[in-house]
Amino acid sequence: MERTIVHCDLDTFFVSVERLINGSLVGKPVLIGGSSDRGVVSACSYEARRFGVHSAMPMRLAKQLCPEAILIRGDMELYAKYSNMVTEIIEETVPVVEKASIDEHYIDMTGMDRFFGSWKLAQELRRRIIKETGLPISLGFSVNKTVSKIATGEAKPCGERRVEKGAEKGFLAPLSIRKIPGIGEKTYPLLRNMGISQIRTLQEMDALTLRRVLGQNGVVIWNKANGVDNSEVIPFHQNKSISKEHTFDQDTIDMVQLRKIMLSMADELAFDLRRDGRLTSCVTVKIRYSNFDTHTMQAKLPYTASERLISEKVLELFNKLYSRRMLIRLIGVRLSNLIWGAQQLDLFEDRIEDINLSRAIDRIRIKYGHQAIVRGFAL
């Protein structure tokens, strides 16, 4: 059966939500992110982009490029509310939805042509989202996730683009190789040094050549360049919390060991958040004593996936909670109030050094496993 995949992306989502709340921001350059000079841009309006500003840019540079930009700290709770509104509308309309991020969804409409015109249904869904939420959204429609996502990018701002079956290569050919998902800051310079700028050139190359240069990822990129992507739309399920616990073989009162394990669990949970593209705003610490008495304490914090902020809160709670000088049998950490976050990292965090360090560590762990690199902790 011919596949029908739709990709939806809310345009400048954070900025669009802020403009719903404050109409005076419409038409003006807007920056959202860390307010200090060491912060980074989480999102920016199209007006700001005309000055060369982009997401993840240091805030100091962004303000130099666009001095008249309006800076907003951001409200992840508000963004999550509107994101959930969009998700609910989509889930009411179609059976298979993958929430790829806070502002991005994939929809599998395969087989729905028996009852509806899939393209017409997709258009109606987009119009309904705009009408009921007031948010601009763009849509791509094709036979797979890669082509649909690229089509969405070509449809922006607030448009829709359909790529018919068999037209994938022709649609992709004139586009920049930067449009292909998976070609990032490392792969792009390698391909440009080979004289490759358009997807057409990748299509004309042999897959084995790319494999020799880029390894197995070269074959993946070659397939995408040729409009081939068999990845499935993964149905959306949202966990309300994630947690880790550690039970000691022997009950202990060793404070160095206890704090080290607590911080290690916090670090692992923060990594899990970033890997899944989510943020938390509630941390809970759990202690079970040798007599099986169990005590917990929780605290709120701004939405984050920063292991520094989460670890600091975990240690603070542990120090408050552990008031009885008794042997401990079990300790645990739970993160709750989870939402889909700002592309795997809390870009509202003011310390760009922390962001860069987290990204570097995450890349190593994703490639070699979590234990490939372990943080040191000052106890």
The CATH number assigned to the domain holding 66 equals 3.40.1170.60
Confidence (pLDDT) at 343 = 44
Confidence (pLDDT) at 379 = 53
Strands 30-33 and 41-44: antiparallel
In a domain, 235, yes or no: no
> For 143-156, how does the pLDDT look when each residue is reduced to its tens digit (9 = 90+)?
999 999 999 999 99
Looking at per-residue confidence, does 377 or 229 come out higher?
Answer: 229
Confidence (pLDDT) at 324 = 73
Number of domains composing the chain? 3
Confidence (pLDDT) at 170 = 96
Please state the φ and ψ torsions of residue 340, each to the nearest 5 degrees: -70, 130
Same domain, 247 and 196: no
Looking at per-residue confidence, does 298 or 1 come out higher?
Answer: 298
Tell me the percentage of the chain whose pLDDT exceeds 70.
Answer: 91
Confidence (pLDDT) at 13 = 95
> For 36-78, how does the pLDDT look when each residue is reduced to its tens digit (9 = 90+)?
767 888 899 999 999 999 988 888 999 999 999 999 988 888 9
Tell me the percentage of the chain whose pLDDT exceeds 90.
Answer: 65
In a domain, 20, yes or no: yes
Calculate ∠ Cα 162-130-99, nearest 5°.
70
Range of the structural domain that residue 177 is part of:
92-225
Q: Produce one character per residue of 10-23: b if its CB has 16 or more CB atoms within 10 Å, e if not.
A: bbbbbbbbbbeeee
Same domain, 69 and 96: no
In a domain, 231, yes or no: no
In a domain, 7, yes or no: no
Confidence (pLDDT) at 305 = 86
Same domain, 219 and 266: no
Asked whether residue 346 carries a pLDDT value surpassing 90, the answer given is no
- Amino acid 303 reads Y
Asked whether residue 239 carries a pLDDT value surpassing 50, the answer given is yes
Average pLDDT over residues 194-223: 92
Same domain, 368 and 245: yes
In a domain, 121, yes or no: yes
In a domain, 87, yes or no: no
CATH number at residue 280: 3.30.1490.100
**CA atoms of 75 and 47, how far apart (whole Å):** 21
Asked whether residue 375 carries a pLDDT value surpassing 70, the answer given is no
Look at 81-85, 224-228, 292-296, 347-351 and tell me which has the smallest mean pLDDT: 347-351
Quick one: pLDDT band at residue 257, thresholds 50, 70, 90? very high
Rg value, the chain, Cα: 23
CATH number at residue 128: 1.10.150.20
The closest of 272, 281, 238 to 76, measured between CA atoms, is 281
One of 18, 47, 98, 104 is an active-site residue; which one? 104
- Amino acid 141 reads F
Look at 54-63, 175-184, 309-318, 351-360 and tell me which has the smallest mean pLDDT: 351-360
18 torsion bin: left (phi>0), alpha (psi -120 to 50), beta (else): alpha
Average pLDDT over residues 239-245: 89
Confidence (pLDDT) at 115 = 53
- Final residue in a domain of this structure, among 28, 43, 77: 77
In a domain, 204, yes or no: yes
Structure token pair of residue 377: 């902790």
The CA-based dihedral angle spanning residues 56, 57, 58, 62, taken in that order and rounded to the nearest 10 degrees: -130
Same domain, 53 and 160: no
Same domain, 59 and 138: no
Confidence (pLDDT) at 152 = 97
Confidence (pLDDT) at 340 = 73
Confidence (pLDDT) at 372 = 62
**CA atoms of 155 and 133, how far apart (whole Å):** 20
Annotated catalytic residue 104: yes
The closest of 177, 165, 166 to 204, measured between CA atoms, is 177
Same domain, 67 and 106: no
Same domain, 160 and 49: no
Same domain, 191 and 127: yes
Asked whether residue 220 carries a pLDDT value surpassing 50, the answer given is yes
- Final residue in a domain of this structure, among 164, 195, 225: 225
User: Mean pLDDT across the chain, nearest whole number?
Assistant: 89
In a domain, 261, yes or no: yes
Same domain, 251 and 211: no
Ordered DSSP codes for 285-330 = EEEEETT--EEEEEEEEEEE--HHHHHHHHHHHHHHH--S---EEE
Same domain, 267 and 209: no
- Final residue in a domain of this structure, among 193, 225, 257: 225
Is the pTM higher than 0.85? The answer reads no
Same domain, 185 and 256: no
Average pLDDT over residues 312-339: 91
Confidence (pLDDT) at 261 = 94
Confidence (pLDDT) at 354 = 67
Confidence (pLDDT) at 348 = 53
